Structure formats: C-alpha cells, structure tokens
Structure 1
Amino acid sequence: MKFTELGLNDELLKAIKRSGFEEATPIQEQTIPLALAGKDVIGQAQTGTGKTAAFALPILQNLDKDKKVIQALIIEPTRELAIQTQEELFRLGRDEHARVQVVYGGADIGRQIRSLKNNVPAILVGTPGRLLDHLKRKTVNLEDVSTIVLDEADEMLDMGFIQDIESILSYVKNRKQTLLFSATMPKPILNISEKFMHDPEVVQVKAKELTADLIDQYYVRAKDSEKFDIMCRLFDVQNPDLAVIFVRTKRRVDEITRGLQARGYNAAGIHGDLSQARRISVLKRFRAGKLDILVATDVAARGLDISGVTHVYNYDIPQDPDSYVHRIGRTGRAGQNGNSITFVTPGEMSYMKTIERLTKKKMMPLTPPTDDQALHGQLKIAKTKIEDLMKEDLSKYTDDASELLENYSAVDLAAALLKNLSKDSADVEVNISSQKPLPSRGGNGRRGGGRSRGNYGHGGGRGRSGRGGYRGGERGHNDHGYSGYRGGDHGRSGGGYRGNNSHRSGGGHSFVIKNKKD
C-alpha cells in the first residue's frame, strides 16, 4: 500500500518522499489508519519492521500546533532507541515544525531542564529512569498528553522497567490514546494493556522469515583488531562486483571508508550525520556502479534496494536477528546468487548461534585468506585489467613504449604495470578504533549497588536485576544501558559511552593511516 492511501497530509507525504520511502510496511499499513482515528493499538512486530514511522506519522498529524504543551509521550527502553526515535520524528516532522525533545540519563539534567522550560516540546521522547527523574522534580508536565507510546515493551520488561512504566502512566491522567509495541506479548505486558488501554485494536505482523536460498552465508572468527586486514584480503580474493559493509556506529563508517580508500579500494560511506543530498549522491554512484563498496549503518541503509550487490560483509555482528535478515537481504536478489560474510569475535560466538537458531539458517566457517592468497587475487584482477587494455587502440603509446624498452626489460615493465594496477595495501597500515563485542545474553546484572560513577547504571543504581552482558553506567555516562541479546535494545552497546550527550561508543584507539616504510 502506498503512503498516499493512508490518509496522511501533504507535509508528511513530502517528508516520506524525501526519506525515499514509497510503500508502507505491513505494520505501518495496518497501524497508521487506526492511530489517526484515535484508537488504542497493540502492535506485535519485530525490530526493523518500521514501527517508528507507524506511530510517529499519526502523532505528527494529530498535533495541535497552537498548543505549547507536551501532547505526546514516547517511552523507549534505551537512550540509543530514544535518540533514534527523536531523530526520526525530527526528520518526518520538519515540515510540520514539530518540537521534539529527548531526555535520557547520562546527559546533563540541568541542560535538559532549561531546554524543557525555554521551549516546551510538543513531543517528548525518553527513557523510563530519566522521565521519572523529571516527573519527581516537576520539570515535566504530562497533564496535557493525549497520546502515549510504549515502544519495545518486552525489552522494558526484561530490563525491569515495568513498575517505572506504571508510575509514569499514573501521571498521564488525561490521555486519550495508548499505542503499545512489542515483539512478544508476555503476561506482564498484557496486564499493562488491560489496565491502561481501552478496547485496543491488535495488529500482528509475523516475524520475518529468512528465504535466502540463493545466499551463501559464512562467518569469520576474528578479533576486533584483525577484522579490517582480513576483510581487505577477502576483497582481493573474492573480488565482489558490488559490496555493502554493515557496521555498528557512524564513527566506524568514517574510519573504515577512509581506510579502504587509503588502500586503493573504490569505497564511500553513508550514515545519519550526512546530509540527505550527500546520502542520495553516494547511493546514486553505487547504483550506477561508480562505487564498488558501500559502508553503512543499519539506519542509513534502511530501505536500501540496489540490484547487483554480490557480497554483504557484516563487519560488526548485527544487533538482533531481524537486522541480520535485513542486512543479508541486500544481496541474492532477482534470482542472482549472493554471499554474506559475518565477522564474529570469540566473545560473540554464542550470540551468533542465537541468530542461527532464530533465523533457522546456519553460517559456514570461512578461513581468512593468507597474504599470499590476497596478493594472488590482486594480481589476477590486475591481469584481467591488462587483458582488457590490450583490446583497445594503443597506437599512440607505441613510440614511448619502444623508448622504455630500450632501458628496461619487457618483464620489468610488465611487473611495474602489474604493481601499479594492483593494490599494494601491505604498505598501508590502518587502525580502526576498538569496539566492545556484543555478548550473548551475558550474565545477570548485579542487583542494587552504587551509582557507578555517573547516573544510574542499570543493574546498579536502582536495584533491578539485569540480564545484559555489560553493566550500564560504565564510565559514568549511560542510563540503564545493557548489552547482550534480550538485554537492552537487542544488544545495542550499553557501557562505554563517553561524554554528556554523546552517543558514540567510547574506548579504543584513534584512526590512523601511516606508511610502514616510514
């Protein structure tokens, strides 16, 4: 179904077109008309099915622009999801001049209070802990909220937020509409729906099934510091026509793109910090075959539909099984064979098994090529280029060629040409900043405990039990952060975030390119 058939206004349709979306996903198609009509909705769908737009578009359309009060509240389990939702609302609501603010732990609460006071948002997005902080300080007034969204409700249950959710809902006394989204519907979630929702319409979207018979799926076991060199050797041996590399962060996109370019690969990257015009330009070049390699985050590659992609490289293991399905679905299209290669650190092996169980597909182990095999692959590509050149008219170069032959042997000249046409990447060292792996389910977070050097570290701070692998609050700048599947936000990194208002992963080394000969 087209978005034009869903009853959305012209401003929102313009924003949707600008984002490159044409057809609504099943969850959007079924949810948007119900939400526009003011009905309560329970949406059961997996991550990556377009839930954000399913609730964001009706909220934006139903806003009263003249009111300077909070009219909609969206609760997300983690700061990463809260930030992404706020960014999506901002993009979609730009023509509507919608005021959107996000609040989460780890950021300066004083700054948040000043912003809330000076420019009251129409839509407030936040994590449960920080929202409760503001409510107790009376720095947020939810009396005029008409719509409330509970996103990733089962994740909030796993993270011990259900009591917080009920406390927050008790402040929203005049709400007219509640939208609840969850991948699963355990009893506590159903209890919330029974207690706080009125005759909700149920929208169920089946989990994506992996129908990827034409995709050969491999994994490479490697330390984080080894991935880049191994990937380059794979390029040299596999010689992909068009390849997409998926990474976890914007910083990784920039680092890996610059590293590939330094080694002579025809690569470009896209992520959310780039302008829309820049992203469109890069994708246009990739579609036209003027780029060989596209480096992207999951968010930037949403809706990416490019024929001819022969290889997908998961430089960072996907954060949930649906993301894996989405990623490798970029190849193996239109009856063509495709290849996916996933890099897995030793600590992520059990998480990879979780993905295999849920997708019902097994990845085959792949042994990294040696340096000699990579060089052989480079020379094979270079010889093919020379053979293509020999088919062209070279008559205007013969005099200079004869002069060179007087001083050098034909073998030396051919060797120089091969060296020039192959990527002598062994002379270029590239360091990519290290990133903590996603553990599988992790261990139980500690119950109770201190405040972990910053705002609440979930599994510390508030005395809830957590199931993530890394305890939140690491480095003192994270609110309720988890890692690990079925931890927070399907394994998005919880610990190790640096600085207030920063959502770049901390730790590791700076990006460096240098010549080994120096």
Structure 2
Amino acid sequence: MNKFDNLGLKRFLNLSLEKLNFSNPTMVQKKVIPLLLKHQNVICKAHTGTGKTHAFCLPILNNLDYDQLNIQAIIVAPTRELAKQIYENIRFFKGFQPKLQVNCFVGGEDIKRQIEQLERSQPHIIVATPTRLKDLFEQQSLKLGKLTTFIIDECDMIFDLGFIENVDYILSKVNPNVQVSVFSATIPEELKPFLIKYLKNPYYLDLNANKISNQNITHILIPTKHQERSNILLKLLKTFDPYLCLIFVNKKEDIKKYYDLLLEHNYSVAQLHAGLEPRFRTQVVKRIRNLEYKYVIASDIAARGIDFIGISHVISIDLPNDLEYYIHRSGRTGRANYTGCSYVLYDTKNLTLVQQLITKGIIFKYQKWNQNNELVDTDLGISKPKKQNSGQVNNEINKIIHRYKTKDNNKKVKPGYKKKRKEEITALKQHIRRDHIKASIKKIKKTKAKERGLKLFDKE
C-alpha cells in the first residue's frame, strides 16, 4: 500500500507519486505535509537528502486553485541550479494536472524575456533566486495580490550568500497573512530576527536532532602524514571505480589545480563552482547528470541543493571550517537506499576539526596505506578532545609551584617569589573560570533563543 495515500493529498498527486515510485514518505514529508496542507507556518531544520523539496511542493500543488491563473505560491532558492531543480520537480506534475502553470526565474538569463513572459500570463507557482525575484517585482511584473504561500529553501545558505535582504524586501510587500515556511539545514543566530519578523506562531521541526549523518554512508579517514594531497588523491582514486565521485576543496583557486591534475592523468573530470559563467555552469550540471563525467571537482556550492543521482563517493581534500558543510558534502552520497563512501584527508592541521566531527557523532573508519600501496583498515583511531578536569587544573598549578622550587635548599630564591607564584595561580584560575562562564553563557543563549519570540515547538 502507498503510504502517501494517508496524507490527504488529491488523487492526481497520488497517481504522480506512484509514477515516481514513491511509496513511503520520508520523515520530513510525514511531519511537514500535514502542517502545510493546513496552511501552518513551518520552520523545518533538516539536512540535505531528506526529501524536503516534495515536502513543500506537494502541499502547494494540493492547495492551488487551478481555475485562477494568479501567482499563488513563490519558492525562493539560493542558487540557479537548485531553483531549476525544484522547477523540474514541480513541472513533472503537469503530466497529471494539465492546468498547472509554473515558471522559473533566475539570474544570468534575459530579464526582458522573463518580463514578457509574465505580461502574457501569471503562473500559479514561481520558483526564483532572491535577486531576480526582487528585480522582477521592481519592474512591476509580479502581481502578488493572490499570493497565499511563500517558501524559503536552504534559508541559511541564502543568508550566508548575502541574499536575505532581497527576500526581506519581497516579504515586506506582500499580505502579512501569507503562509511563510522556511527550510534550512541550520538556523544561525543572526537569522532569528528575520524569522521572528515574518513567521507567526511557526511549528518548529528539528529533524537533525540525534541524526548527524545518513546511516548508509561510510565515513573514512585517510592520513596524509604531510605528503602532498595531490599524490594522496591520485593514490586514493586508484582504489575504487565510482559511479560518480564528488571531490570537494575549500578554496576556489584549488579547483583548477586538482581539475588540471586529473585531466593530466586522463580522468573524466568536470569542475563546478560559483565562478563559472552561468550558461556554462548550467551546461556542466546537465552533462554531469547525463553521466558524461565520473569525477567532479567542486566548491561547497555543489554540497547544497544540487541533486546528482548516483553519487557513490565523496572526497574532502580538506575539511571546511563550518563543519555543517561536511554534513552536506557527505550527504550527497548514500541516498535513495544506496550506500556511499565519504573520504576525508587529514593531518595535524585539521585534526581538531576531525575531533569535533567525532564529538558530533560521526563514526569514522580508519584506513592507511600498506607496503603495497593498498588501503587497509587500521585500529589506530582518533579520540575525542579531552575535557579539562580538576586533575588537569591541579597539574597546571603544580607546574607553577614547581617552577619556584629549587633543588638546593640552601640556594636563595628571588625576593617576592611567593607573591609572583600566587599571582600566576590566580591568573590561571581566572582564565579557567572565564572559559567556564563563556561556555555557560553560550548554552544559556541557545536555550533562550528557543524561548524568545519564536515560540518554536514540535507538535506531533
């Protein structure tokens, strides 16, 4: 039995889902769809690959008045690729509901043509990037009097890229009773005033809690031992034959370096990052989806939103400073009941970040190179960073005391040593106390953020 039938969706949607071979809704879909069907405002915190797109698209498609050709729903996405991906997901349903009209408006495309398109007719649904949406509104091309639903996807990425002001501008112009829902992998502290401003009594769903990573992903640490990462990467690529492998770097300038390296060694490789010319980037994404490449060197833009089916391996040349991005990177694989591997190259420079991931709950396998240059499992692991305890504090105090002791009891010590020793011990204790206070304040702020203004809660 198709369990989507129990969610109260219209018949044409259930028929569409059968065609897609969707039988069991994901956790995000189970929680979100009933709320959005009832026009509730929702803040949904969930990682990449959890089924968010259909969680908000299905209720929109269910609630549309297809006999009225007005803009009834707007979906905002941070990147052109993600906007087009959402658009294609929605356009699929036109085969089961011919009256459906949906348009996608993104930057890098002819705005005059988009304006002419809107002059001819206003669609039921618009999927857009923030800046292009604002541009079209300022051109008076959008008639938003009948707007009922406003969805912000990957909201934290919109914030990180500096586009939240454009979203703020549009929301300030629409009816305050419009249903506004936000989907985001994280909720940064700086984003909360925006949420308080536009979401009245939202339901807060934190579907990241106690689930740091997809269980289908094997996380593997590869030591570099101060060797060139280029050499380690080439050795690693010889150990598996991927369906599709994403290779992530932190710096845009490193993309070309590794892209050229793989080309030189005759790998079928593409590069994907924000610096590519828009039309060329669109072509690259299309060719990756057509499986014309086996390897993609990418910046973190590819970790968020862009969905490539069949990614079997992910490699992080280095770890991102924001470890949430590692979750997104690794989350590109191990999807749709398939398994996947996420490799991390590490050394002493990023050891602290590895320890933080372990503390967050990531379980790593450890592998090393044997004498035959083969990767083999090893028991050598990395422990969580140790918390400073009272024993460690006492050790530090004893070290200070020891410095002021002399081996020769008859030898005179400098005058005032007791005072200096006391001052050093006092300074150490104050430093430790300040660290504890800072940690406590941070914890209190997190607790109060949930209570303050937003009144976020999860109703089941």
Instruction: Pick the TM interval, shorter chain.
Output: 0.5 to 0.7
Deviation at 1:59, TM superposition (A): 0.5
Match of 1:233 among 228, 233, 238: 238
Which residue of the partner structure matches residue 56 of structure 1?
A: 57
Q: Give, in whole Å, the separation in 1 of the partners of 2:353 and 2:204.
A: 31
Which residue of the partner structure matches residue 247 of structure 1?
A: 246
Q: Give, in whole Å, the separation in 1 of the partners of 2:327 and 2:113.
A: 36
The alpha-carbon distance between structure 1 residues 215 and 144, as it changes in their structure 2 partners (threshold 3 A), is closer
Deviation at 1:184, TM superposition (A): 3.1
Deviation at 1:145, TM superposition (A): 0.9
Q: How does 1:303-314 map to 2 (within 5 A)?
A: 312=313, 314=315
Q: How does 1:256-335 map to 2 (within 5 A)?
A: 299-301=307-309, 312=313, 314=315, 320-327=325-332, 329=334
Deviation at 1:27, TM superposition (A): 1.4
The answer as to whether partners of 1:60 and 1:96 remain within 8 angstroms in 2 is no
Deviation at 1:359, TM superposition (A): 5.3
Q: Deviations over 1:314-350 (max 9, x none)?
A: 499999333444455469999xxx8654579xx9999
The alpha-carbon distance between structure 1 residues 328 and 201, as it changes in their structure 2 partners (threshold 3 A), is closer
State the TM-score, normalized to the length of structure 2: 0.57
Q: Deviations over 1:450-486 (max 9, x none)?
A: xxxxxxxxxxxxxxxxxxxxxxxxxxxxxxxxxxxxx
Deviation at 1:248, TM superposition (A): 7.4
Which residue of the partner structure matches residue 209 of structure 1?
A: 212
Larger radius of gyration: 2
Which residue of the partner structure matches residue 23 of structure 1?
A: 24
Gapped runs of 5+ residues in structure 1? 262-270, 280-292, 305-310, 375-518
Deviation at 1:58, TM superposition (A): 0.5
Match of 1:145 among 147, 150, 153: 147
Q: Deviations over 1:484-507 (max 9, x none)?
A: xxxxxxxxxxxxxxxxxxxxxxxx
Q: Give, in whole Å, the separation in 2 of the partners of 1:57 and 1:332.
A: 22
Match of 1:183 among 157, 164, 185: 185
Gapped runs of 5+ residues in structure 2? 249-258, 269-283, 297-301, 375-460
Q: How does 1:116-515 map to 2 (within 5 A)?
A: 116-173=118-175, 175-207=177-209, 208-210=211-213, 215=218, 217-219=220-222, 230=235, 233-235=238-240, 244-247=243-246, 299-301=307-309, 312=313, 314=315, 320-327=325-332, 329=334, 340-341=342-343, 360-362=362-364, 364=366, 366-367=368-369
Higher deviation after alignment, 207-216 or 178-187: 207-216
The answer as to whether partners of 1:57 and 1:92 remain within 8 angstroms in 2 is no
Deviation at 1:62, TM superposition (A): 1.1
Deviation at 1:113, TM superposition (A): 1.5
- The DSSP-based 3-state class of the residue aligned with 2:244 is strand
Deviation at 1:363, TM superposition (A): 6.5
The alpha-carbon distance between structure 1 residues 181 and 341, as it changes in their structure 2 partners (threshold 3 A), is closer
Q: Give, in whole Å, the separation in 1 of the partners of 2:47 and 2:353.
A: 18
Deviation at 1:301, TM superposition (A): 2.9
Letter in 2 for 1:209: I
CA RMSD of aligned residues (A): 4.8
Letter in 1 for 2:244: I
The size of the alignment, in residue pairs, is 330
Deviation at 1:146, TM superposition (A): 0.9
The answer as to whether partners of 1:72 and 1:122 remain within 8 angstroms in 2 is yes
The answer as to whether partners of 1:356 and 1:363 remain within 8 angstroms in 2 is no
State the TM-score, normalized to the length of structure 1: 0.51
Q: Give, in whole Å, the separation in 1 of the partners of 2:71 and 2:24.
A: 31
The answer as to whether partners of 2:49 and 2:335 remain within 8 angstroms in 1 is no
The alpha-carbon distance between structure 1 residues 110 and 50, as it changes in their structure 2 partners (threshold 3 A), is same
The alpha-carbon distance between structure 1 residues 13 and 364, as it changes in their structure 2 partners (threshold 3 A), is same
Q: Give, in whole Å, the separation in 2 of the partners of 1:126 and 1:331.
A: 27
The answer as to whether partners of 1:148 and 1:175 remain within 8 angstroms in 2 is no
The alpha-carbon distance between structure 1 residues 9 and 110, as it changes in their structure 2 partners (threshold 3 A), is same
What percentage of aligned pairs have identical amino acids?
28
The answer as to whether partners of 1:12 and 1:93 remain within 8 angstroms in 2 is no
